Amino acid sequence: MMPHIPRPPQAIAADRARYEDHQRKGLTFTPKSPPTPSPRPAPVPAHVLRHEVITGGWYTQLAMQTGQVLRLQSGGLGGSVSLAAWADADRSERLNLPDTVKVQWTTELRKGRVLFSDMGRVMLSIVEDSSGGHDVLTGGSGPTGPGTPHERNTRENMILAVAKLGLNRRDLPMLMTFFAPVRVDAAGRFFWNGTLLSGDDWVELRAEMPLVLALSNTRHPLDTTTGDVPPVTLTLQAAMAIAEDDLCRTATAEAVRGFDNNARG
C-alpha cells in the first residue's frame, strides 16, 4: 500500500479559493437563452477536410482536432445519428451525458449548449442546429426480436466502431442521438415529437479538444417511420477563429467552468 502523502496547505488553499470563485460566479451568472434554430437549408460548408455519406444502417469513426467543425446533414425522415466521443490523448476520458444534462439544467441540448466529458471538460459545442430535436435520454436501437425483420442497429454498429478505435464495448458511454426528438410527457413517459423534424435538418459540432468519435445512422426505437433509413452526410470543416464572446463558451456558468477546466489540461 502506498503511504499517504498529505497535500501542502498552499495547494489546499488554492483549490478552496478556486471552488469559492466558481461558486460565486455560478450564483451571480445569468444564463443566455438558446438562440433561434439555424436556418434551412444549410449553407454550403467552407474549408472541407472530409466528406462522407453514412448509408442508412451503417457507421463510421473519425478524429477531430481542436476547433474543427463537424456537420451532420439529415437526408430525410426515418434516420437518426448516435454519437460517442473520447479524448484522443486519453481515451478513458469520454462523453458523459448525465453530467452534461445535470450541469446545464436541461435535456434539450441545442445550439449554444455544450457536451461534457466525465472529467468536467467540454468536448463538443453545438454551434449550429436547425431543429433542437435530439435525444439524451433513451440511447440508440438494440437488436430486433425473433421473427422480426433484421435491421442493423446502433448497438451492433457501435461495438464494431469502437473496435476499430482500439476500444471495446465497456468503453462505450451513453450515446447522444441527433435528429431524434424524444420528449417526456406529464406522466413521465417518453414520446416522439416528430413536429420538430423537417427531413433536411442539420447540426454542427465544434471540437473543443482533440477527439475520436463513433457515429451510427439507424432508425431510433421510438420513430414510427417506415421504409429505408435515409443516408446522413458528414462534413468535417477546418478550424476557424473563435470570438471571445462565443455563445457556447459564455452561455452558462457551467460552460465557462468547463472551458476553464479545458485550459487547465
pLDDT digits (tens, 9 = 90+) for 191-246: 999 999 999 999 999 999 999 999 999 999 999 998 899 999 999 999 999 998 99
Quick one: 168 exposed, middle or buried, by C-beta within 10 A (0-12, 13-18, 19+)? exposed
The whole-number pLDDT of residue 63 equals 98
Of residues 231 and 46, more confidence is placed in 231
Does 3 have pLDDT greater than 90? no
Please, are residues 126 and 110 in contact by the beta-carbon 8 Å criterion? Answer: yes
The whole-number pLDDT of residue 28 equals 57
Please, are residues 256 and 118 in contact by the beta-carbon 8 Å criterion? Answer: no
Grid coordinates of 182: 424524444
Q: Poorest-confidence range of 59-63, 100-104, 147-151?
A: 147-151
- What percent of the chain has pLDDT above 90? 72
What's the pLDDT band for 124 if we cut at 50, 70, 90? very high
The whole-number pLDDT of residue 35 equals 83
Q: pLDDT of 150-171, one tens digit each? A: 677 899 999 999 999 999 999 9
The whole-number pLDDT of residue 22 equals 60
Q: pLDDT of 28-44, one tens digit each? A: 556 777 788 999 999 99
Does 79 have pLDDT greater than 60? yes
**Mean pLDDT over all residues of the chain?**
90
Distance CA(111)–CA(105), nearest Å, equals 15
Please, are residues 85 and 171 in contact by the beta-carbon 8 Å criterion? Answer: no
H or E, element range at 72: strand 69-74
pTM of the model: 0.86
Quick one: 255 exposed, middle or buried, by C-beta within 10 A (0-12, 13-18, 19+)? buried
Distance CA(178)–CA(165), nearest Å, equals 22
